[in-house]
Chain A
Amino acid sequence: MGDQIVQWVAGLLRQAYAMLGLSPIAGILDRIVCAVAMFGFVSVFVMFLVWMERKVSAHMQSRIGPNRVGPFGLLQTLADAVKLTTKEDVHPVKRDKIPYFIAPILAFVATFMGMVVVPFDNKVVVADLNIGVLYIIAITSFTVIAILSAGWSSNNKYSLLGGFRSAAQIVSYEVPLVLSIVPIIMITGKLNFSSIVQYQQQAGYWFVVPQFVAFFTFIASATAEANRAPFDIPEAESELTGGFHTEYSGVKFAMFFLGEYVAVVVSSAVAATIFLGGWLPLPFFGFLHLPGFIWFMAKVLFIIYLIMAFRWTFPRLRVDQLMDFGWKVLIPITILNILITGFVVLLLGKGA
């Protein structure tokens, strides 16, 4: 279903290229169209998520949430975006100009670029890289540099401290994040997202069943990677006045803000793909014959809801508790999980 739609769109594009006389560079144009379409989708989806976040938190606190702009307050984020983009761009005079300018762009783009290797449906993916899992881990590591640049170039003690905390947290939690994907790679022998989903299809189970420990550690460390509550000590309003983006305003602040949500989308999409079977239908619900991308989006939204619910169910961790949880709880669990998975794979004679 999904790939039929893509084929149809591709056919339309071919006709458009032919009309404009651009057929010789169709390959490059296809890439550009894919990238722009993904960018548009992610941007709109993220705006929806901001609304969803406010609605979820309102629900958890027995409030109504945004309900003024548009039906159910759906256009609230649009209004906020207009407000943010038309705001005056206030910046510190003694800033370090180039890093200050680059940091928000890098933070947004680096997280966004992870999205292009996630398959939305069978054969519906912008770039089906062979090493997709590794690519996401690699490209999102740019966010650390972006956050450090932002903290440093603002020339503000609070920003610098926030940047340090944030970078230390991301570097620490990247270890359990990667280690919780390793068992899946050991079982499937593949680094490609589509192949991992196809393996789950053939095996008849989702990896969340045998690897629920890895699923838990992945979600926990992904929440920490995105600097979200209960791991949002880098932003800690009460002590750091907002962390590394204290000195940013207007569009630049919006890019940091949206980048955080894009990070949530990317982590949820990865979790939905490798643990919840990506575009595969729910067990016993295959008779509905829904297109794969609807199942995929439903799973992504479910995980995003989980991450949003965490925010209002767990108290914020102190810095030392944060590091203890990462290094003394999550990492030993993931290493033990890798060991056990290795033994089982060896005993069953499966795997690559």
Chain B
Amino acid sequence: MTLTLFYILAGVIVASALLVVTVRNLFHCALALAMTMFGISGIYLYLGWEFLAAVQVLIYVGAVTVLIIFGIMLTRRVMDDTARVMNNQVLISFVAAAAVMFVLFMVVGNSSFQSNNHPPEAAVSAPVNETQNPEPSAPYVDEVALLAGGLLKPQNGFAFAFEFVSVLLLSALVGAVVVARKDPS
């Protein structure tokens, strides 16, 4: 049952990812990209990492895809179907994509994926999940606290990088405002 769910999700992700790179209408590509990202958040939910799933939707669907759609709408004419799917850089981009995929496979192969269970004391309206708890062996982890601790606890050494990224993003924001600002004259 749960494995069927995984295959459905994987099918949706692969199909919409293929749509992203094959459809000629760029706006449809962006919508398919949103679908892909939503499917990936479904995989996170399937593994029980709710926080990651919500953040995936929030950032990739709510922000990145919307930004892409804005870009398409501001630079292209309505109902413009003439986007070229292929150009003369097919070979070199294939090599680049293959290299990225190789690295990703190396990383994915070396990491151990753990699923997370629902909290045992979860107050569900009806006594629903007494019977359906597929793998009670995996303990429940408070992922928000885990993530926050991993990023911000001084002994982990990421606190500085975390703050540094915030400052970097702030300067990017200020820079964008400066660039977009009208000339006062």
Contact = CB atoms under 8 A, between A and B. Distances in A.
Chain A interface mostly: helix
Contact of A128 (B58, B66, B122, B132): B122
Contact of B131 (A6, A27, A135): A27
Nearest to B128: A30
A193 to B, nearest CB: 11
A138 B128 contact: no
B51 interface: yes
A67 interface: no
B179 interface: no
Interface residues of A, number: 46
A99 B34 contact: no
B71 to A, nearest CB: 12
A240 B127 CA distance: 50
Given A123-B125, A155-B78, A164-B73, A145 B34 contact: yes
A124 interface: yes
Residue among A126, A134, A137, A155 with the highest chain B CB neighbour number at 10 A: A134
A138 B123 contact: no
Interface in A119-170: 123-131, 134-135, 137-139, 141-142, 144-145, 148-149, 152, 155, 160, 164, 167
Contacts of A142: 61-62
Contact of A6 (B25, B79, B125, B132): B125
Nearest to A160: B78
Contacts of A139: 57
25 contacts: A7-B126, A27-B129, A30-B126, A30-B128, A31-B128, A34-B126, A96-B25, A96-B27, A99-B31, A102-B31, A123-B125, A126-B125, A128-B124, A128-B125, A130-B122, A131-B54, A134-B54, A137-B58, A139-B57, A141-B57, A145-B61, A145-B66, A148-B69, A155-B78, A191-B51
Q: List the 8 closest pairs (A to B, CB-CB), nearest first.
A: A141-B62, A10-B126, A138-B57, A138-B58, A27-B132, A134-B54, A138-B54, A123-B123
